[in-house]
Amino acid sequence: MRRTASPLALILLGLGVFLLVLSPMLAWYVEPRAKRTPTDVNITSVFTGTGKYFDQQELKTKSDQKLTVTRRVLGDVAASEKSGRAVWNVSQTIDNPKTRKLDDPRKSFQWTTERLVTDRKSNRPVNCCRSKPKDIAGEAYLKWPFDVEKRDYSWWDSSLGATVPLRYKGEAKVRGHEGLRFTGTVKPTRAGTRQVPGLLVDRPKSGQVNAEEWYSNSGLDFIVDQRTGRILYAATGPKLVLRAPGGKEDKVTLLQSDKLAFTKKTQQEAVDLAKDDNSRLRLVGSVAPIGAVTAGGVCAVAGAVLVARGRPTASRARHAPDGRAEG
């Protein structure tokens, strides 16, 4: 009798081989390509705290005021697909109690817009696609790269218009989710000029003067998800003042806060997004490959055993010319 492989044996063997080939493809090919900065983002982050701001109507600095920073990030999907980059439009408002009620960025205490373009793999800024400003630099800004390392990073400070070194400070948790912490400060630095009445900066005999804007930051604090680079928590201690042209002393405090930090709601939303991203990356990077290897190995072994055993089939009898059976 001869033995032939059953259809089930061939199916199991073929499926096993397929899964064994699929496993390294998921780990070495699919997962690295899944680590790309998303383009269809629509995220609103809110910082709150107390501080000072200059009231232009009353021409004086008010203290112990609630300040709110609202940052909206919206991905330009069409530009991203065309360029192969991550193109994000960023709108940020700073509101005091008066402007917060208006709920209009044009009437906020301060409103800035940016167009951030980055390489989707490295997270490095790219000057293309009408990026604004064009000189953004550094390794991190609205997010960190994937697989964040336990080292110092250069972070882009839009208020300063330059990068700031952030020091790695160890691990920390946000809403129960673990991340890596980075901190830094900014010494008083001239950041631009603003035309104001000379009286404001002790130049009463001058009409309008180009006062110097000086910026500093007493405490930059970030906690970042290690796998995805998402910012789970952020806090800042900005100070923006005016000095007379060539002056050494601060004359007007435009804005100051010891700490403006992510609200609890913003923290939870960031943690939820990081968990979802981690789950997807873990699926294609470890869970699926391990499952494919395990299932593929079982199927391949079972199929090979069934093929080896085969299914017995009776051979047909051959008849000689005189009618007697042969064989």
- Is the pLDDT confidence value at 212 over 50? yes
Helix (H, G, I), strand (E, B) or coil at 21: helix
Q: Report the pLDDT averaged over residues 267-285.
A: 83
Query: What would the pLDDT profile of 128-155 be if each residue is shown by its tens digit?
Result: 999 999 899 999 999 999 999 999 999 9
The pTM assigned to this predicted structure is: 0.78
Per-residue confidence band for 29, with pLDDT thresholds at 50, 70 and 90? very low
Q: Letter for the amino acid at 145?
A: P
Tokens of 260: 């403006």
Determine contact, residues 110/159, Cβ cutoff 8 Å.
Answer: no
Query: What would the pLDDT profile of 215-236 be if each residue is shown by its tens digit?
Result: 999 999 999 999 999 999 999 9
Q: Where are the alpha helices (DSSP H) in 188-261?
A: none
Q: Report the pLDDT averaged over residues 254-282.
A: 92
Query: What would the pLDDT profile of 278-293 be if each residue is shown by its tens digit?
Result: 887 765 545 445 555 5
Point out which residues pair with 165 in neighbouring strands.
154
- What pLDDT score does 187 carry? 97
- Is the pLDDT confidence value at 39 over 70? yes
Per-residue confidence band for 30, with pLDDT thresholds at 50, 70 and 90? very low
d(CA 104, CA 255): 19
- Is the pLDDT confidence value at 159 over 90? yes
**CB proximity list for 165: less than 8 A, separation 6 or greater:** 152, 153, 154, 155, 184
